[in-house]
Amino acid sequence: MKTSNLFLQSKLKKLLPLIFCLIFVWQLSAQESWQASRETVEKLSKNQTEFNYYEEKVPAYTLPDALTTIKGQKIRSKKEWEKLRRPELLELFTTQVYGRVPNTPYKTEFKIIKEDPNAMNGAATLKLVDIIISANTKSLTIHLGLFIPNKVSKPVPAFLLVCNRPPAENIDFTREKKSEFWPAEEVIARGYAVAAFYNGDVDPDKHDDFQNGIHALLDTNRNSESWGTLAAWAWGASRCMDYLVSDKAIAADKVAVIGHSRGGKTALWAGATDERFAMICSNEAGCGGTSLARRKYGETIDRINKAFPHWFCANYKNYSNRENEMPFDMHELMALIAPRALYVAAASEDLWADPKGQYLALYHSLPVYQLYTKNTRLPQDMPALNTPVRNGQVAYHVRDGAHNLTLKDWNFYMNHADRVLKKGTKRGIR
């Protein structure tokens, strides 16, 4: 009898994590799931008649299986994923969506332009770093601003923002102008370093036939697979990462990259191509980033290619109005982040970016995360408004309001980072 009880206790102990996980998912499912307001849907549909905002008009679709190779082989282990399927998907997104970085040799130099140990009234140390990229006779400078908390043991985890808005108003390193888009003081108060760079330093956000920015330095013979501007910005994020990993005050294995809208697409691709980023926060990235293209809800591939022809490689235009012919969809882009932390977010009024399509993309990336952590699960239905859903390394929220990156979003991101980045980080007052 005693042996039988011990056996049952042993079995129950093994099942407890699964039981708790199922209870967690059930509790979240029991909450009211977010739905787009009918008023917003009808208003947008009236003003943009060529785009769909009605959930009932989303076409039937079948997503490619993230765990089945092009040749039909089923992936059953993380070893097979890393050896076979991940490289295959990475190549697909490189050649069909974002484009390939040229192999032109270049040199990188870091120059500390300014260092202020008493920034933010003594709460932080400010470093202004010029990242100088040189190739042949040309050069380009990325201006990186970095605040490091003074009263926290080093090294510290960090957030790197890809800023796609005017820098003077949004990432003012003097802190004379403050913006929720980059709430540096609040991030410092939470014990994180916080850095930012302006995407325009790397490549201008305009269709200039790739004659300026980093393209002018590195491009040689362009073709249908050549990198677009989003890939250039992601490359710039990696050059900022080059500096961050060299700074002894930064925990090199605990850096999060964050971006909003086109910056959110950039953050995703930076995370997919540079596995040094430990956490990726993609805020309202929408079409060409976090939302499932096959849903054809809000912005579409055809529209984004016409409005921003410089963002992607030329091959992406092949899928305008032909989404079902893509051998991939954006859940597989998210899967490329696994097993690292991934946080996807949307806004209730930002139907252009398809909040539900973003959640579904994250949900359908989970089989890859489960290769690493079996019990990684999310409810099939979306969470309630302003109610983040988190499990393991993945998280999602839909915030009330319009298309923006706000302090509320940042706090949700930092709450998740507290779980996944601060594990094992020594904290304390110096």
Contact 339, 372 (CB under 8 A): yes
Mind listing the pLDDT tens digit of every residue in the chain (430 residues)?
A: 555 555 556 655 666 555 555 554 455 444 699 999 999 999 999 999 999 999 999 999 999 999 999 999 999 999 999 999 999 999 999 999 999 999 999 999 999 999 999 999 999 999 999 999 999 999 999 999 999 999 999 999 999 999 999 999 999 999 999 999 999 999 999 999 999 999 999 999 999 999 999 999 999 999 999 999 999 999 999 999 999 999 999 999 999 999 999 999 999 999 999 999 999 999 999 999 999 999 999 999 999 999 999 999 999 999 999 999 999 999 999 999 999 999 999 999 999 999 999 999 999 999 999 999 999 999 999 999 999 999 999 999 999 999 999 999 999 999 999 999 997 544 332 2
pTM score > 0.85 for this model?
yes
**Cα-based angle 420, 422, 428 (whole degrees, multiple of 5):** 165
Structural domain contains residue 60: no
| CATH number for the domain harbouring residue 297 | 3.40.50.1820
Q: In what order do the strands lie in the sheet with 389-391?
A: 107-119, 124-135, 138-149, 193-198, 156-163, 250-260, 279-283, 341-347, 394-399, 389-391
Amino acid at 256: A
Structural domain contains residue 377: yes
Give pLDDT, residue 12: 59
Contact 114, 173 (CB under 8 A): no
At 362, list the tokens.
């994250």
What residue numbers bound the domain in which 150 lies? 91-420
Beta bridge mates, 129: 112, 144
The answer to whether the peptide bond before residue 155 is cis (omega within 30 degrees of 0) is yes
Structural domain contains residue 430: no
The answer to whether the peptide bond before residue 383 is cis (omega within 30 degrees of 0) is no
Contact 111, 129 (CB under 8 A): yes
Contact 170, 259 (CB under 8 A): no
Among candidate residues 134, 179, 320, 403, the one labeled active-site is: 403
Structural domain contains residue 24: no
Structural domain contains residue 8: no
Structural domain contains residue 197: yes
Distance separating alpha carbons of residues 365 and 82, to the nearest angstrom: 15
Q: 403 an active-site residue?
A: yes
Q: 261 an active-site residue?
A: yes
Structural domain contains residue 160: yes
Neighbouring residues of 80: CB distance < 8 A, sequence distance ≥ 6:
none
Structural domain contains residue 178: yes
Among candidate residues 33, 226, 261, 291, the one labeled active-site is: 261
Q: How many domains does the chain have?
A: 1
